Amino acid sequence: MLLKAGDILLFQGDSVTDCGRSREDDARLGDGYPKIISEYLKGKYPNANFRVINRGVSGDRAKDLEARWDADCLAIRPNVLTILIGINDTWRRFDRGDPTSAQAYRASYRCLLERVKNETDIRNIILIDPFVLPTPPDRAAWRDDLNPRIDIVRDLAREYGALYIPLDGLFAAASCERPCEYWAADGVHPTPDGHGLIADAWIRIVENH
């Protein structure tokens, strides 16, 4: 397993990661996949003293992570960093007419990785691609905007030697077994079972490396 006793595990992203976490108390991780992961690790490795921190912010795009990276990542000096960002870069094009180009998304994302690689002693990075399910039906129109971002995350994982979780594909496969709404009622925000799917994927990749 890639984790070591005493590791600081930082989760970064948007509302999918935020999921109601506290801004005042790092011990209150919200109700999403970071909490599920934390509880699993405490149960299985009770003496490892992992510190799990959730700094997801609802509504964030990649450029928003870049703007708060000093305080919400570099100052924390994580040993293992997990990033899930990108759906709002797509969503804002459709609900506000405020698009983020794929080039701008790549530049912001690369800045995050460059800085954490060069300015901390980070040991492992885990990149999770953004996802959308076709519910309601208008979400299907987002594909042309989101798919290039998924390619970018995959490219950056290769470039920076990060572990990669193909979450869009995992949700697509899961939605062939159960209705899309079972995993994410609005196609974006996971249900409890959707968060469980993310947590399971994270745990598998961490324990198998």
Q: For residue range 159-194, what is the model confidence (pLDDT) as tens digits?
A: 999 999 999 999 999 999 999 999 999 999 999 999
The CATH code belonging to domain 8-207 is: 3.40.50.1110
Ordered by start, the domain boundaries in the chain are: 8-207
**What is the C-alpha to C-alpha distance for residues 187 and 95, in angstroms, rounded to an integer?**
15
What does the pLDDT read at residue 26?
Answer: 93
Q: What is the greatest pairwise CA distance in the chain?
A: 50
Q: How confident is the model over 10-21, as pLDDT tens digits? A: 999 999 999 999
Residue 95 is predicted with a pLDDT of: 94
Which DSSP symbol is given to 139? G
* pLDDT value of residue 22: 96
Percent share of the chain, pLDDT over 70: 100
Mean pLDDT, residues 44-65: 98
Q: Quote the mean pLDDT of the chain.
A: 97
Q: Are 127 and 157 in contact (CB under 8 A)?
A: yes
Quick check: 93 and 99 in contact, CB under 8 A?
A: yes
CA distance 162 to 165: 10
What value does the mean pLDDT take over residues 57-84? 98
Question: What pLDDT shows up at residue 190?
Answer: 98
Task: Provide the whole-model pTM.
Answer: 0.97
pLDDT band per the 50, 70, 90 thresholds, residue 152: very high
pLDDT at 89: 98
Average pLDDT of 72-76? Answer: 98
pLDDT attached to residue 117: 97
Round to whole Å and give the CA distance between 121 and 80.
Answer: 10
Structure confidence at residue 150 (pLDDT): 98
Give the pLDDT of residue 187: 97
- pLDDT band of 201, cuts 50, 70, 90: very high
Residue-wise pLDDT for 94-120, tens only, equals 999 999 999 999 999 999 999 999 999
Task: Report the pLDDT value the prediction gives residue 155, as an integer from 0 to 100.
Answer: 98
